[in-house]
A and B are shown apart, each in its own frame.
Chain A
Amino acid sequence: MNLTTSIRERVRTWMPLEDLLPDHLPAFVRSPAYFFGVITLSSLVLLIVSGIVLAAFGPQWWHDNPVGHFVNSVHFWCAEAFFFSLTLHLWTEFCKAAWRHGRRLTWVVGAITFVAAIGTAFTGYLSQTNFDAQWIAVQGKDALNAVGIGAFFNLMNFGQMFGFHVFLLPLLLVLLVGLHLLQVRIRGVVRPFASTRKAERAEELLWRGARRKKAQAPAATGEVEPRPLPSDQVRYYRGIRMMPYDLVREGLVALLAVLVLVLVFAGIFSSADEPPLTLQQYAQQNPVGFVTTTMGGLSGTGSIAQYGPPYNTGTGSVQSIGPISLQQVAGVTIPIDVAQVYVLEPLTIAAQTDTQLAAALQTFTRASAQQQTAWENAYTDALGQATVSNGHVVVPQGDYGPLPAMMDQLLTLGTSGALDGLLLRSGGFYQNDFTKPLLFLSEDALPARAEQLNMLGSQWGMMNSTGNYPGQSWLWLYTFWYQIPPYNTAPNADVLVWVTMAVLTALLVVFPYLPYLNRLPYYLGVHRLIWREYYRDRRAAQAAGGTGLAAESG
């Protein structure tokens, strides 16, 4: 067999150019309910173009340069337009039961595209390098860690998220959209429901791939026509009036309309860009909180020190469902020794030019574990009565060993901004992983700021944004579960929400295959509005004894 010939003939048969780029479409597509696919596509094109410009100039440009911020705003409003039209496309295609007559895989690919788009947008929010990005990273990490994904997909690693957002996920999205478009053009848009359930059933059997062989069986006897190819739009639309249609023009008009809309929105409303929180700000604005967080790290009582995988072997934030903990299965892949990273290593560096600090560090490290714990407990208790004087944290007199001197130096490192740099150190020169500073800030500083902005998980935070801007409203269902029992009180809420959403997402993807449920759109009746002229004309034809039902005989 000549593979080249085989592929060529299949392409020629399944994808005739007349159907891929038709200049006539069925007259029943006159409803605006058919516009949302092309608007989504237009938004995606503009998203990619604005994204390329942003990637070309880099994060500093979209924060500091007015033109850069404008392009960033265009990108943001394109994303809103994309999800707005994508949601409407999903709703309208659902109401039409657009998976009928052999189009189930078209729906499946479309639904997967929706999920991929959410992932792409999520990594985009993480790549903003502003407060939203910080908070979404530390809030989302718990959900991903709980199911083991966080061990490999680190939301606080800017380099990884940026790579996913500007290349891997857009590539996947474009491939899926391309496949979806191809599927739609090969088979054409689905016809309105047949006049009877029996007729609709016959159509379904005829055009569904697996059953076409059965439909073909009587063909040999000459009783019915040979089975149609899925791409046989001539036969599929038989009896249906076709009208002239310029798909390319429609696409260009939609592109222009979306472009004008996002330019206007970007020009008038701009986009959210709350500056990121730094350790320096935290140390300057809340010295006692800063030192308390640091002590939690040193004594091993802080939430990060007790977190568990992927950072350490603790169990404080380990979640499971029944006996299964994917978080523990994935293991410690981003090891962080909290006491070393946040206290001892920075102080050791500072001690190279500070003999008093070097002596204090030596006293602490040479003390017994029991003595260290006693100092830590006493000092941590004393911090509850601490005051701030001339930028120093002052606690009541007590036996704290060298800890006051150590913490004072660490606070100095924090207020000077040196700690921001020290926590970004890794083995090499280039740094793009913000896991360490973000974990430190996630103990206290970020949640405190997020609560002021209504962005906590208990405040539907994942779908909110800073300022008066729409956030990721498409995450409403995911966020919703965190607000109601048993999710909002369960210790393994993240796993429960993941399982719930995984099941619901799977149901969405395979909805056309669900017996009985897949008839829901027919009973909802919205299709009667979308195709009302078609149904009206069909009734008129039936009343007149015309041939308008020819198409339903297959």
Chain B
Amino acid sequence: MGGTAQYLHAGFILISIANLVVIALLIVVFVLAVTLRRPEKSRISTIEATPDTAGTVGEEAANAEVRP
């Protein structure tokens, strides 16, 4: 990376490829972060369980607690 810097020039925008990659990665990671879930835990209920709405499964569900 110590060679001559590569730049993208469009109108008044002049940005190094390295900075562009960082900004593009920021956006990609942000999108992934708000859309992805930890797969094995995706079915655990997030609110207080009731006989009608309990949706928890697996070990995690067994350990989950509801605040009194």
Contact = CB atoms under 8 A, between A and B. Distances in A.
B48 A550 contact: yes
Count chain A CB atoms within 10 A of each CB in B15, B48, B53 and give the residue with the most: B48
Contacts of B7: 454
A36 B12 contact: no
B38 A30 contact: yes
A310 B16 CA distance: 33
A21 B46 CA distance: 21
B1 A548 contact: no
A467 interface: yes
A84 B47 contact: no
Interface string A235-252: 001111111100000000
Contacts of B65: 24, 241-243
A467 B67 contact: no
A529 B62 CA distance: 26
B47 A35 contact: no
A163 B22 CA distance: 29
Interface residues of A, number: 64
A473 interface: yes
B40 to A, nearest CB: 10
Nearest to A534: B46
Interface string B1-27: 111111100001111111101110110
Tier of interface size on chain B: 35 or more
Interface stretch (A201-209, A378-386, A406-414, A537-545): A537-545
A32 B36 contact: yes
Given A84-B22, A466-B5, A529-B35, A30 B29 contact: no
Interface in A510-554: 526, 529-531, 533-534, 537-538, 540-541, 544-548, 550-551
B57 interface: no
Contact of B46 (A95, A234, A533): A533
A454 B47 contact: no
Interface of A: 24, 26-28, 30-33, 35-36, 80, 84, 87-88, 91-92, 95, 234, 237-244, 269-270, 272-273, 453-454, 459-460, 463-471, 473, 476, 483-484, 526, 529-531, 533-534, 537-538, 540-541, 544-548, 550-551
